[in-house]
Amino acid sequence: MVQIITGSILVIFGVYVFARYPMKRDTKSLVLGALFVVITLVLKRVSLMIPLFGVPALKIGFEMLPMMLAGMLLSPSYGFVVGLSVDLVGLMIVPTGFPFFGFTLNSVLITCLPGIIFAKAKYIEKKQLEAIVTITIAIVVCVVSVYVISLDNVVISGNAMQIKRIYKVMIIVICSILYIVLWQAIRYMKKRVPSENAQIFYIWILAVCVTEIGVTFLLTPYWLQVMYGIPFLVSLFIRVIKQCIMIPFDIIVGYQLLKVLKKF
């Protein structure tokens, strides 16, 4: 039933994207799209496993960055094709049985959401975008803190771990420090970003936050619960720590890459 519902959502979303943002024949977009697919598939094989509470449970990957960049640089319709290609070609390279449409939907959303956000937000004034970004980051920090405080135990790699108060404080402090560093980096880059590029800068921050929160925080833990029976809150705990690292990385490194790629 989940497969049917998810597949239907995928088809409906595809119809909307192609109707609202028709795909135009563009050699440059085709080449860039193919390049992003290849880069993403390569990065999927490159990841870091970081020990958490003495257990190697925190996997850091970088494949979302080129997918989000593809969404920003190409139209949402091309983004849909790129996301779908990444999922299908990945299944051909490493067969895992019949594809689960939930993860296919994830792949498509990662590439489409930045493009849709860019198409909608480019008409918003810079000050309003700055306010939206500030509120979004503040909400992320508050939600993460409340969630960590409310959690008493978690199962990591089959081992039940009690989340003591000292661990909660450490996690909140680490997350807060990372977001303070992110905010300082944003302020520093704001001074160096030309006024004509400031809007793109804030749109990129918004696109990263919405995509990471929507897909990584909400959808992925749910699909893992449906497929493998991993409790939603347990999976979310690991991803809270992971995304406190990845969101600042994607924003800072991704914008530098975006500036370079926009010149071509």
CA distance 195 to 246: 27
* Domain region containing 135: 2-262
Q: How many Cα atoms sit within 13 Å of 124 on the Cβ side?
A: 20
pLDDT in tens, 83-103: 999 998 888 877 666 678 888
SS (H, E, C) 109-156: HHHHHHHHHHHHHCCCCHHHHHHHHHHHHHHHHHHHHHHHHHCCEEEE
According to the model, what pLDDT value does residue 4 have? 85
Kindly report the backbone phi and psi dihedral angles of residue 180, in degrees, each rounded to the nearest multiple of 5, phi listed first. Answer: -65, -45
pLDDT beyond 80 at 5: yes
Q: Strands 47-52 and 55-61, how do they pair?
A: antiparallel
Name the E strands within the chain. Answer: 47-52, 55-61, 153-156, 159-162
pLDDT in tens, 70-82: 999 998 999 999 9
Residue type for 48, please?
L
Helix axes 232-262, 165-192, angle to 10 degrees: 10
Choice among 5-9, 46-50, 169-173, 177-181 with the minimum mean pLDDT: 46-50
What total number of domains does the chain contain? Answer: 1
Stretch 225-243: mean pLDDT: 73
Partner residues linked to 192 by β-bridges: none
Provide the pLDDT confidence category of residue 196 given band limits of 50, 70 and 90. low
Residue type, 236: L
**Scanning the structure block, which residue is given the tokens 């998810």?**
6
Please indicate whether residue 161 or residue 37 has the higher confidence score (pLDDT): 37
pLDDT at 92: 81
**CATH code, domain with 71:** 1.10.1760.20
Percent of the chain with pLDDT over 70: 84
Residue 242 gets the label, from left (phi > 0), alpha (psi -120 to 50) or beta, of alpha
